[in-house]
A = this chain, B = another copy of it.
């Protein structure tokens, strides 16, 4: 776990058995396994392959599986990450971001379905977004939500483009381009890179936590 970022296992492109073996080794050596892009068949193989007693949390929508050995010493940061999604199809990618930030020890505030075409909804959830130390905003299609959110908060925002949309600019390209062109201040990760967005937010949370505990003042 360099920088506190857990080594995650990407299940996509591996057989259930390969993934299960890697997860078992990870639990053995680090007392934890974080697996992403897991379908239900793979989840079963992983669960079957892990020793007892292990605490397993499989999130079907986010397609993530996290396993903690009883003696795993979970990090706990005094810092909050808000994860905001534009629509239901952004949930899996945003879910990855959420899991990673949580495993890095941050408190995660999840705020979903905050579409840019319904401004009322954004205003409703503004308080919990503003209360967080750093915000991840996932959006597909035209990807305008991170810009709107960054115009309303005081904290760093990480834009997470999602590969929805079709035709010209589809597959997340319009969303990525829109976030890079944003007329507000944002930084961005690659299309569908939920893991990276969550980990970057986690790194900010770690910096804030360290400052809160009195580390590192100049």
Chain A residues engaging chain B, CB cutoff 8 angstroms: 2-5, 13, 78-80, 86-87, 89, 107, 115-119, 122, 133-134, 141-144, 147-148, 150-156, 158, 161, 163, 165-170, 172-193, 196-197, 199-200, 203-204, 206-209, 211-212, 214, 216-218
Q: Which residues of B contact A196 (CB under 8 A)?
A: 185-187
Instruction: A155 to B211: give the CA distance in the assembly, Å.
Output: 12
Q: Which residue of the partner chain, among B13, B186, B189, B191, contacts A200 with CB atoms under 8 Å?
A: B186
Asked, given contacts A181-B141, A190-B180, A204-B207, whether A117 binds B170 with beta carbons under 8 Å apart, the answer is no
Instruction: A12 to B178: give the CA distance in the assembly, Å.
Output: 22
Q: Which residues of B contact A211 (CB under 8 A)?
A: 79, 133, 208-209, 211-212
Q: Is the CB of A119 within 8 A of B148?
A: yes
Q: Which residues of B contact A218 (CB under 8 A)?
A: 78-80, 107
Q: Is the CB of B190 within 8 A of A181?
A: yes
Q: Which residues of B contact A134 (CB under 8 A)?
A: 204, 207
- Measured CB to CB, the nearest residue on chain B to A146 is B142
Q: Which residues of B contact A184 (CB under 8 A)?
A: 117
Instruction: A168 to B192: give the CA distance in the assembly, Å.
Output: 10
CB distance from A94 to the nearest CB of B (A): 15
Q: Is the CB of A204 within 8 A of B156?
A: yes
- Measured CB to CB, the nearest residue on chain B to A89 is B13
Asked, given contacts A163-B167, A181-B190, A188-B188, whether A156 binds B203 with beta carbons under 8 Å apart, the answer is yes
Q: Is the CB of B147 within 8 A of A116?
A: yes
Instruction: A89 to B13: give the CA distance in the assembly, Å.
Output: 10
Instruction: A199 to B144: give the CA distance in the assembly, Å.
Output: 20
CB distance from A155 to the nearest CB of B (A): 6
Q: Which residue of the partner chain, among B5, B147, B169, contacts A177 with CB atoms under 8 Å?
A: B169
CB distance from A16 to the nearest CB of B (A): 18
Q: Is the CB of A3 within 8 A of B154?
A: yes
Q: Which residues of B contact A122 (CB under 8 A)?
A: 119
